[in-house]
Amino acid sequence: MKWKLIIFFCLILSQSFAQVQLKGKVVDKKGQPIFAVNIYKKTQSELGTSTNFDGNFNLQLKESTGILVFSFIGYQTKEVKLSSDLTNKSMTIVLKEDSQTLREVIIKAKDPISQKFSVTKIKKLDIYFNPVAQADGLKAITLMPASTTIDETANPSLRGTSPDRTRVILNGVPVYTPVRSSQLNNQGFFSLFSTEVIDKEYVYASNPPLTYGNSSAGLVEIQTLKRLPENQ
């Protein structure tokens, strides 16, 4: 019985000493250590580890057979065939940068797609060539089908709503009193906006962008030139 116990413990000790110790360092082509490189056995991905801040790793396996995989974002995945020669020795793994990088992405601002359907865009020349506008950005809305302005004022009235319900936005900022009077009899109202500095003007007859509030009374959005001339 005693000999059986001795043999049993010897087998346990032999199995514990049979583990393979793999250690080493992962660097790039310049010799700089690579942090957080994934290292795992190809057939058993659950058996793995990762490099520390110095690029070092330490991995224990039950056998020195199979393929060891080294992978990291931005570098080519490298596979190393395990052998008894690598056991208990420090190895140095060099990863090459992955040439399949992302192509250059250029982001350009375009007019909203809804402009073709529910938005009317008015340019500077459209204001000047409009006989009713009198070179006024808000008066240029008068000839639009959705405009219901019945007086000479520049206050925009869209779809039958009162002028105080139609919001006017200048570069993202609401302007609550955009119209002034030019005569004592309150006729000939004109807006505060100089047509020369207007870049684009969008007229939302209904359902304006939610960034300006959920309103069905209409909205006029005016964008000025990004860089104004010094004399203006």
Domain topology for 113-224: Ferric Hydroxamate Uptake Protein; Chain A, domain 1 (2.170.130)
Amino acid letter, 21 = Q
**Mean pLDDT for the chain overall:** 77
> 34 falls in which pLDDT band (50, 70, 90)?
very high
The residue with greater pLDDT, 188 or 129, is 129
% of the chain at pLDDT higher than 90: 18
- Tell me the two tokens of residue 193: 């906006």
- Tell me the domain boundaries of the chain: 20-94, 113-224
DSSP structural state of residue 164: G
> 16 falls in which pLDDT band (50, 70, 90)?
very low
- CB-based contacts of 24, cutoff 8 Å, min separation 6: 56, 57, 90, 91, 92, 93
DSSP structural state of residue 96: P
Q: pLDDT tens digits, residue range 93-136?
A: 999 988 765 567 777 666 554 555 467 888 888 888 888 788 88
Neighbours of 164 (CB within 10 A): 11
Q: What's the confidence (pLDDT) of residue 68?
A: 92
The residue with greater pLDDT, 91 or 153, is 91
> 79 falls in which pLDDT band (50, 70, 90)?
very high
Q: Is the pTM of this model over 0.85?
A: no
Q: What's the confidence (pLDDT) of residue 207?
A: 66
Q: Please say whether the beta carbons of 205 and 120 come within 8 A.
A: yes
The residue with greater pLDDT, 216 or 177, is 177
Determine whether domain 20-94 maps to CATH 3.90.1150.10: no
- Tell me the two tokens of residue 206: 């209904």
- CB-based contacts of 231, cutoff 8 Å, min separation 6: none
Mean pLDDT across 20-27: 90
Instruction: State how far the Cα of 56 lies from the Cα of 60, in Å rounded to an integer.
Output: 14
Mean pLDDT across 34-58: 89
